[in-house]
A and B are shown apart, each in its own frame.
Chain A
Amino acid sequence: MTKRNKFMAVLSTMVLVSCGALFLGQKVNAAGEGKISGTVKLDGTAPHMRGIDMSKDPYCVKANTATPAHLQTVEVGQNNGLENVVLYISEGWTGAATTSTEVPVFDQKNCMYTPHVLALDAGQTFKVVTSDQTTHNIHPLPNPMTGNIPWNQSQPPGAAPIEKSWKNPEVIPVQCNIHPWMHGWHVVVKGPYATTDSSGNYTINNVPPGNYTVTAWQETYGTQTQKVTVAAGKPGAADFTFKAK
């Protein structure tokens, strides 16, 4: 290699590296840009969550002897915080659909879905796994008119994970026909999202400055919206309260 060639090689490498650094730097900036956080609460007495009769399948009965399973349509934690509420940006989001490379897991554990509500970005890959020693069939029921196509696959004990994604935003019920009490949700949205923890707290990350409408979705009480502004260095805040019926 001549001296000149060597110089060119070093130069082009340096240019490449610096471009990459610039590009990465921008990405890091974008990721750290802003967030929207708050708490979702229930106003009133939470409805009674009925126990589940699993006598159809002795395995399921045995798996739930320590802590009896109950319905999960309204889960209330500390200070009346509402769990499993999905928060997402319903207006004002202009970014790409798939912002997350994370692959969330939807587990069939003790004949229940964990998590009960799985929030997803349109196009985001998720994994369906089974931790149970009984056969499940995983059967999401989107409306075929939305462009999301229903499918139905079996997962016997020890079955390999199933990797899937949903094309369009939609609230999709998921069921197991073998265990009819097993009922969960895939809440597919466009852009960043968050799901409340057991105290009703949430944080939507990766939100650049701007004016947004945030929607809170709860499977029993429906949706609520609020206008939120995220400014540079000033995160947005939105608390929601659902009234017990």
Chain B
Amino acid sequence: MRTRLRMWALLTGALALALPIPSWAQLTTSQLQTWLNSPAASSHVGNITGNAKAGAAPYRRYCVGCHGPLGDGNGENAPYMQPPMFQQPRDFQLGVFKCRSTPTGTLPTDQDLFDAITRGFDRTNMPPWNTLSKQERVDLVAWVKHFSPRWANEKPGTPIVIPPEPEVTGDRIKAGRDVFARVQCWKCHGVQGMANGPSAATLTDDLGRPIAPFNFTDGTRPKCGDSDQDIYRIFMTGLDGTPMPSFADNIKPDEAWDLVFYLRALMSQHSKEKEMAKKLDLKPVDPNAPAGQQ
């Protein structure tokens, strides 16, 4: 109770100090020191505790070139990464992240940020940082969090519950195709998942920069992970900052697994689902079919 109170006192103190200046990331040295000594400047992944102070050095060494000293994504390499060829480095000051286990509009967990650093982002300039030690990566998570005032004001969202993966069957793949048709994934991703849906060409991210939907057929990996659980999480939480919305309110957990199986069947990589779909001779969904008649 005492430590909690003290934490809140420190948090509000840090907030009050930060208010008169425009950007959280431009704290004065003494303000930053106060914050760094507070319990808020830590991160927890598994049984490892990270510390923002310790994260500053690896950030300067590995991240600053693209994400910049202020964490606003304006590092010295950033001008060379222009969409649509490249995606620009994440602006940590906004506190908006694509890959989360938490509902849309909420902060990701420390584990989510840790996974993003570890995995890297396919088709971008962000490589996997699994060569860094676990401790370094957890420290980096704490340092990344210090750039946005959101972490001082909010708690991360509650991760969505992913039920155990059921056995894949032909019926489930077919049911997944119905979900794909009903919620109209094809509007952007195309009926065959080739990223050529009618709305694909005009998509922009939250900052108005052009962005392409995921192409299931060109052999690339989804940005937020390639496991069945990752794919489930992507469409149920949405990718904040991009046009990809959350479908948590409109796809039931069991149906979500059906959709994962159907998406696997669309992907070019070899999979059990792809074999089964081939045997079933599944046709792409018909965009002109009336609702509920596929």
Chain B residue with the shortest CB-CB distance to A135: B184
Whether A49 is near chain B, meaning CB under 8 Å from some CB there, is: no
Main secondary structure of the interface of B (DSSP, over half): loop
Q: Are A154 and B240 in contact (CB under 8 A)?
A: no
Contact with B along A45-70 (1 / 0, CB 8 A): 00000000000111000000000000
Main secondary structure of the interface of A (DSSP, over half): loop
Chain A residue with the shortest CB-CB distance to B205: A177
Contact with A along B146-167 (1 / 0, CB 8 A): 0011100110000000000000
Chain A nearest CB, measured from B205 CB (Å)? 9
Interface size on A, residues (CB 8 A): 29
B153, B199, B240, B245 interface centre (most CB from chain A within 10 Å): B245
Q: Are B238 and A159 in contact (CB under 8 A)?
A: no
Whether A1 is near chain B, meaning CB under 8 Å from some CB there, is: no
Contact with B along A150-173 (1 / 0, CB 8 A): 111111110110100000000000
B96 CB contact (under 8 Å) in A133, A135, A144, A160:
A144
In the complex, chain A residues whose CB is within 8 Å of the CB of B288 = 58
Q: Are A153 and B238 in contact (CB under 8 A)?
A: yes
A150 CB contact (under 8 Å) in B105, B148, B199:
B105
In the complex, chain A residues whose CB is within 8 Å of the CB of B246 = 151-154
A177 CB contact (under 8 Å) in B150, B204, B240:
B204
In the complex, chain A residues whose CB is within 8 Å of the CB of B222 = none
Q: Are B188 and A178 in contact (CB under 8 A)?
A: yes
B199 CB contact (under 8 Å) in A145, A147, A179:
A179
A145 CB contact (under 8 Å) in B149, B240, B249:
B149
Q: How far is the CA of A156 from the CA of B198 in the complex (A)?
A: 16
Q: Are B250 and A156 in contact (CB under 8 A)?
A: yes
Interface size on B, residues (CB 8 A): 37
Q: How far is the CA of A6 from the CA of B269 in the complex (A)?
A: 81
A180 CB contact (under 8 Å) in B105, B202, B241:
B202
Q: How far is the CA of A159 from the CA of B238 in the complex (A)?
A: 17
A151 CB contact (under 8 Å) in B105, B182, B203, B244:
B105
Q: Are A150 and B206 in contact (CB under 8 A)?
A: yes
Q: How far is the CA of A81 from the CA of B148 in the complex (A)?
A: 43
Chain A nearest CB, measured from B251 CB (Å)? 9
Q: Are B184 and A144 in contact (CB under 8 A)?
A: no
B150 CB contact (under 8 Å) in A139, A144, A180:
A144
Q: Are B199 and A56 in contact (CB under 8 A)?
A: yes
Chain B nearest CB, measured from A222 CB (Å)? 20
Contact with A along B198-222 (1 / 0, CB 8 A): 1100111010000000000000000
Chain B nearest CB, measured from A3 CB (Å)? 50
Q: How far is the CA of A135 from the CA of B243 in the complex (A)?
A: 13
In the complex, chain B residues whose CB is within 8 Å of the CB of A179 = 199
Q: Are A150 and B240 in contact (CB under 8 A)?
A: yes
A134 CB contact (under 8 Å) in B148, B184, B243, B250:
B184
**Residues of A bordering B, CB below 8 Å:** 56-58, 133-135, 137-139, 141, 144-145, 147, 149-157, 159-160, 162, 177-180
Contact sample, A vs B, 10 pairs, CB 8 Å cutoff: A141-B206, A147-B153, A150-B241, A152-B243, A152-B244, A153-B104, A155-B250, A156-B183, A162-B249, A178-B188
Q: Contacts A154-B183, A155-B250, A156-B250 given; 15 further ones with Cβ under 8 A?
A: A57-B187, A135-B184, A147-B153, A149-B154, A150-B96, A151-B246, A152-B104, A152-B240, A152-B243, A152-B246, A153-B245, A154-B246, A177-B203, A177-B243, A178-B243
